[in-house]
Amino acid sequence: MTRVGPRVVLGVSGGIAAYKACELLRRFSESGHDVTVVPTRAALEFVGTATWAALSGKPVSAEVWDSVHEVPHVRIGQSADLVVVAPATADVLAKAAHGIADDLLTNTLLTARCPVVFAPAMHTEMWEHTATQENVATLRRRGVLVIEPAEGRLTGADTGKGRFPEPDEIFELCLDVLARQGSGTMLDLAGRHVVVSAGGTREYLDPVRFLGNRSSGLQGYALARVAAARGAEVTLVAANTTLPDPAGVKVVPVVTTGELRDAVVSAAAGADAVVMAAAPADYRPATRAATKMKKADDGSAPVVHLEQTTDVLAEISHDRGRPDAVIVGFAAETGDDTGSVLDHARAKLARKGCDLLVVNDVSGGKVFGEAHNEAVILDSDGGAHEVPRATKSALAHVIWDHVVTRLETS
Ligand code: CTP
């Protein structure tokens, strides 16, 4: 017997981003999920039933009056493991907030007992309208995950907040939600603001040359995505990464350690937690040439004077915007004659003054750019928790588990 994958209901409401939901549907279907598409009538103005039926392999209807003998208005919601409404218009958010049930999708939302995710997409004015914001707040209060729309190009020439996140990123977020389904603590970061830094900073010698490092940003992006899937408002300070913006996350791009410091300090002011997964350069050239440095004719090499950059982790740990905030550092360590990896890490935790330190053993160039990671999480109370080799998402979940425990006991 073939195993039936998780049952996903893909609700599609009537916005132009409906065409992007086809890609989301493909990602779910190709990865073994059993997807039932429930469009609204308005969604069918953008993408017709033939497309949804062909991509999902199932009949598709917006109405409660088709196949009535199967009682679809009750059965589809009851048997779902996840309902994701993408795109979600202001109209469907309003109906869901008020319990209106005038088509198959809104009926399904009333019968679903599984996690429900809304990925709103609309014009900025509609998103910012008090009516929409109050409806979103109502849904969130009830334990529904309404992700923040992205900022950027909207339909036509407009730009602003309201853009549909990348379908791949909504898919990844949904996988995180499905993985935690039934854990009883689905949205344990709801109402929290968290800040994550990711990537490696660049310190310029001249307009084209810089000192940099090998950080890919993958772990920081996984932390940001997972926090959004657990309900947090997330600010991701991203240094020189080439990764797509995680769904529901506010991304602040930076280049240098100075810019990263300013962005992190400003976002950390009211944050419940800050996770410094970035690799900021420890040194920068003391001067930066305004024009490209020329090679000397006599074969001599320039001497580059370096100066230390700010240690952002130490600064935000010692000078806390909120005394009860949880601050997490990372340490890429190698053991040597003077001590083991953990000896050096304990000393670093004390020196930096953070609450948790995630320690990676990077002897031999491990970790950089890899999909998996293993770590030890040290805490300032003397505890050490080993995390066996796991995906960066799984490690991110363990890190947030530790943060949540500290937040709940602080
Ligand atoms: N970090 C930071 N600001 C810097 C350098 C590092 O906030 N200028 C943060 C990193 O984001 C990470 C942690 O500090 O969370 C550990 O960084 P690491 O470079 O390993 O520590 P160092 O202070 O450089 O210690 P050492 O070089 O002595 O090992």
330 lines ligand 1 (CB under 6 A): yes
CA of 281, closest atom in ligand 1: 8
CA of 348, closest atom in ligand 1: 25
Question: Is a pLDDT exceeding 70 seen at residue 184?
Answer: no
**193-225 core/surface letters (b: 16 or more CB in 10 A; e: else):** bbbbbbbbbbbbbeeebbbbbebbbbbbbbbbb
Return phi, psi of residue 275, to 5°.
Answer: -115, 115
The arithmetic mean of pLDDT across residues 16-40, rounded, is: 97
Which DSSP symbol is given to 148? P
* Per-residue pLDDT at 117: 98
150 lines ligand 1 (CB under 6 A): no
Taking the centre of ligand 1 as the mean of its atom positions, its distance from the CA of residue 382, in whole angstroms, is 20
Taking the centre of ligand 1 as the mean of its atom positions, its distance from the CA of residue 279, in whole angstroms, is 7
User: Which mutation among 330, 344, 358 tests ligand 1's pocket best, with the greatest number of atoms within 8 A of CB?
Assistant: 330
List every span in the chain annotated with CATH 3.40.50.1950.
7-179
Q: Which CATH superfamily is domain 193-409 in?
A: CoaB-like (3.40.50.10300)
* Per-residue pLDDT at 365: 62
276 lines ligand 1 (CB under 6 A): yes
Taking the centre of ligand 1 as the mean of its atom positions, its distance from the CA of residue 344, in whole angstroms, is 12
Q: Whose CA is nearest to atom 18 of ligand 1?
A: 331
Tokens of 4: 């039936």
pLDDT, averaged across the chain? 94
DSSP letters of 46-85? HS-HHHHHHHHTS---S-TTTTGGG-HHHHHHHT-SEEEE
* Helix residue ranges per DSSP H, 142-256: 167-179, 218-229
State the Cα–Cα distance between residues 9 and 146, nearest whole angstrom: 16
Question: Is a pLDDT exceeding 80 seen at residue 4?
Answer: no
Q: Is pLDDT larger for residue 2 or for residue 405?
A: 405
Burial class (CB in 10 A: 0-12, 13-18, 19+), 126: middle
Catalytic residues, by residue number, are 213
Tokens of 204: 């310029």
Contact present, 381 and 410 (Cβ < 8 Å): no
Nearest of 219, 121, 104 to residue 161 by alpha carbon? 121
Helices 90-98 & 104-111, crossing angle to 10 degrees? 50
Which residues are CB-contacts of 151 (< 8 A; sequence separation ≥ 6)? 159, 160, 161, 163, 250
State the Cα–Cα distance between residues 270 and 259, nearest whole angstrom: 19
Q: Whose CA is nearest to atom 12 of ligand 1?
A: 330
Burial class (CB in 10 A: 0-12, 13-18, 19+), 167: buried
Contact present, 358 and 349 (Cβ < 8 Å): no
CA of 357, closest atom in ligand 1: 15
Is residue 190 classed as helix, strand or coil in its secondary structure? coil
State the Cα–Cα distance between residues 366 and 369, nearest whole angstrom: 9
280 lines ligand 1 (CB under 6 A): yes
CA of 313, closest atom in ligand 1: 7
Question: Dmax of the chain from CA atoms?
Answer: 89
**How far is CA 285 from each of CA 80, 282, 303, rounded to the nearest angstrom?**
57, 11, 10
Contact present, 266 and 226 (Cβ < 8 Å): no
The arithmetic mean of pLDDT across residues 99-103, rounded, is: 97
Q: Whose CA is nearest to atom 14 of ligand 1?
A: 313
Helix (H) or strand (E) holding 247: none
Among 5-14, 20-29, 189-198, 333-342, the least confident range: 333-342
200 lines ligand 1 (CB under 6 A): no
CA of 329, closest atom in ligand 1: 15
Question: Which H, E and C letters describe 253-270, residue by residue?
Answer: EECCHHHHHHHHHHHHCC
* Helix residue ranges per DSSP H, 99-205: 104-111, 124-128, 130-141, 167-179
Is residue 368 classed as helix, strand or coil in its secondary structure? coil
Strands 326-333 and 384-391: unpaired
* Per-residue pLDDT at 70: 82
CA of 328, closest atom in ligand 1: 15
Question: Is a pLDDT exceeding 90 seen at residue 32?
Answer: yes
311 lines ligand 1 (CB under 6 A): yes
The arithmetic mean of pLDDT across residues 60-81, rounded, is: 89
Q: Is the dihedral of CA 169, 172, 173, 174 positive or negative?
A: positive
The predicted-structure confidence for 135-145, as pLDDT tens digits, reads as follows: 999 999 999 99
CATH architecture assignment, domain 7-179: 3-Layer(aba) Sandwich (3.40)
The arithmetic mean of pLDDT across residues 16-26, rounded, is: 97
List every span in the chain annotated with CATH 3.40.50.10300.
193-409
Taking the centre of ligand 1 as the mean of its atom positions, its distance from the CA of residue 310, in whole angstroms, is 10
Contact present, 112 and 72 (Cβ < 8 Å): no
- pLDDT range class, residue 230, cuts 50, 70, 90: very high
- pLDDT range class, residue 1, cuts 50, 70, 90: very low
Taking the centre of ligand 1 as the mean of its atom positions, its distance from the CA of residue 357, in whole angstroms, is 11
Tokens of 18: 């409906």
State the Cα–Cα distance between residues 221 and 395, nearest whole angstrom: 12
User: Which mutation among 283, 284, 312, 357 tests ligand 1's pocket best, with the greatest number of atoms within 8 A of CB?
Assistant: 312
Q: Whose CA is nearest to atom 25 of ligand 1?
A: 348
- pLDDT range class, residue 368, cuts 50, 70, 90: low
239 lines ligand 1 (CB under 6 A): no
